[in-house]
C-alpha cells in the first residue's frame, strides 16, 4: 500500500488591508503521514489516537472527499500527524494546512497528478475562500481572487530582509465570531482607504520601499472590529512600534498578532517583546518567522 509524507506551511492572511485577498506562507510546519490500508481507518495526532468522531477530522474529510471526487475506491486509511507546530484557531492557517495537506496526500495515493490549479480550486471549495489555501499550496505571499469556480492568483515579490514576529496567545478567536463582529456595510471613504493601502502595499514590497510599510498595513475593514476580541491588542501594537516594528497586523482572524521587522533588528526586537509580553495577564509567546517559498511538499 502507498504511504506518503506531506509537509504543509502555516499561513498568515488578510495582512492589514488585504481582507480575504492577501496571504503568505510561513516557515512553521505541520507534517503528516498518510497510508492506504485494507483495514479500518486510524488517525493519530502527534501521538494521540483519535477514538471518537474521527470522520469529523478535517484531514480525513478532505482526503475522502478528494478520493470520492475522482471515484477512487478506498477501504481504510492510516493518518498520522507527526508534526503539529501550527497552533489551532490562532489565525495561522491550521485548517488550510489540513485541507491542502489532505488533497496532496490523496492525490499522491491515487496517482492522479492533480494540477496546482485543481488543488487550489478544490481546497478553496472546501475552505470557502482562497487567501490561506493558495499560499499553503504555492508558497510565498500571494494575492488571490475567485472568479466563478476558478481561482486567480499572483505572487508578490518580498524583500529578503523582512522577518515576521508572530505573537501567539493561549486564547483562541473563532473564525465564526470574528466574522460576526464585522459590519454589513462600509462607508465609501473606508473602502477607498483600504484600496489605496492594498495597492501601495504591493508596490512598496515589489520596490523594496520598506519605509512605506507602516501606513500600508493600515486597515478599516476588519481590524478595528476584531481587535476587541484580542486582549491587550492596543498595548502590544503600541510597544512593537517602540521596539522597531515597521508594520503590524492581525494574522488571519486572530488571535495571533504579527509584527514586521527588518532582519538586522529582529533578534533585539524579539528579546524586548518577550519581556513585555511576559508582563501581560494572558500568556503569550513570540516566534520569529520567515516566508516559506515552497508551499505544501511531498517529502
* pLDDT in the model for residue 165: 98
CA distance 186 to 195: 13
What are the Cα distances from residue 193, in Å, to 66, 146, 215?
40, 22, 11
* pLDDT in the model for residue 13: 96
What pLDDT, in 10s, does the model give residues 256-290?
Answer: 999 999 999 999 999 999 999 999 989 999 999 99
What pLDDT, in 10s, does the model give residues 15-42?
Answer: 999 999 999 999 999 999 999 998 889 9
Is residue 1 predicted with pLDDT exceeding 70?
Answer: no
What pLDDT, in 10s, does the model give residues 95-113?
Answer: 999 999 999 999 999 999 9
Cβ proximity of 11 and 135 under 8 Å: yes
Instruction: Say yes or no: do domains 3-156+294-298 and 162-289 share a fold.
Output: no
Length of the chain counted residue by residue: 299
Q: Note the CATH number of domain 3-156+294-298.
A: 3.30.230.10
Residues that constitute the known binding site for ATP: 87-97
Is residue 125 predicted with pLDDT exceeding 80?
Answer: yes
Domain 162-289 in CATH 3.40.190.10? The answer is no
CA distance 147 to 127: 16
What pLDDT, in 10s, does the model give residues 38-97?
Answer: 888 999 998 888 877 778 899 999 999 999 999 999 889 999 999 999 999 899 999 999
Q: What 3-state class would DSSP assign to 98?
A: helix
**Scanning the structure block, which residue is given the C-alpha cell 511576559?**
278
**How do the domains of the chain map onto residue ranges?**
3-156+294-298, 162-289
Is residue 220 predicted with pLDDT exceeding 70?
Answer: yes
Residues 6+ apart with CB under 8 A from 152: 144, 145, 146
Q: What is the mean pLDDT of residues 120-140?
A: 95
What pLDDT, in 10s, does the model give residues 145-194?
Answer: 998 878 999 999 999 999 999 999 999 988 788 899 999 999 999 999 99
Cβ proximity of 22 and 13 under 8 Å: yes
CA distance 197 to 6: 36
Cβ proximity of 178 and 185 under 8 Å: no
Residues that constitute the known binding site: 87-97
Amino acid at each position: 500500500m502507498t504511504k506518503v509524507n506531506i509537509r504543509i506551511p502555516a499561513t498568515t492572511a488578510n495582512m492589514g488591508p488585504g481582507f480575504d485577498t492577501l496571504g503568505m506562507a510561513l516557515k512553521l510546519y505541520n507534517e503528516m503521514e498518510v497510508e492506504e490500508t485494507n483495514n479500518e481507518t486510524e488517525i493519530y495526532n502527534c501521538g494521540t489516537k483519535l477514538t471518537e468522531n474521527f470522520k469529523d477530522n478535517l484531514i480525513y474529510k478532505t482526503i475522502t472527499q478528494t478520493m470520492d471526487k475522482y471515484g477512487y475506491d478506498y477501504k481504510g486509511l492510516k493518518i498520522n500527524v507527526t508534526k503539529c507546530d501550527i497552533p489551532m484557531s490562532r489565525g495561522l492557517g491550521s485548517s488550510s494546512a489540513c485541507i491542502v495537506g489532505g488533497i496532496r496526500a490523496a492525490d499522491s495515493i491515487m496517482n492522479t497528478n492533480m494540477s496546482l490549479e485543481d488543488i487550489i480550486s478544490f481546497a478553496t471549495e472546501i475552505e470557502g475562500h482562497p487567501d490561506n489555501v493558495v499560499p499553503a499550496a504555492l508558497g510565498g505571499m500571494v494575492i488571490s481572487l475567485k472568479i466563478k469556480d476558478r481561482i486567480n492568483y499572483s505572487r508578490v515579490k518580498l524583500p529578503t530582509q523582512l522577518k515576521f514576529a508572530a505573537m501567539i496567545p493561549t486564547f483562541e478567536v473563532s473564525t465564526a465570531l470574528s466574522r460576526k463582529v464585522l459590519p454589513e456595510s462600509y462607508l465609501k471613504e473606508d473602502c477607498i482607504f483600504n484600496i489605496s493601502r492594498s495597492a501601495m502595499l504591493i508596490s512598496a514590497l515589489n520596490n523594496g520601499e520598506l519605509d512605506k510599510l507602516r501606513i500600508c498595513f493600515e486597515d478599516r475593514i476588519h481590524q478595528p472590529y476584531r481587535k476587541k476580541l484580542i486582549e491587550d491588542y492596543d498595548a502590544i501594537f503600541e510597544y512593537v512600534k517602540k521596539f522597531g516594528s515597521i508594520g503590524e497586523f492581525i494574522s488571519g482572524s486572530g488571535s495571533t498578532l504579527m509584527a514586521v521587522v527588518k532582519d538586522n533588528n529582529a533578534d533585539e526586537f524579539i528579546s524586548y517583546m518577550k519581556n513585555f509580553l511576559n508582563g501581560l495577564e494572558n500568556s503569550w509567546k513570540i516566534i520569529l518567522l520567515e516566508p516559506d517559498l515552497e508551499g505544501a511538499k511531498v517529502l
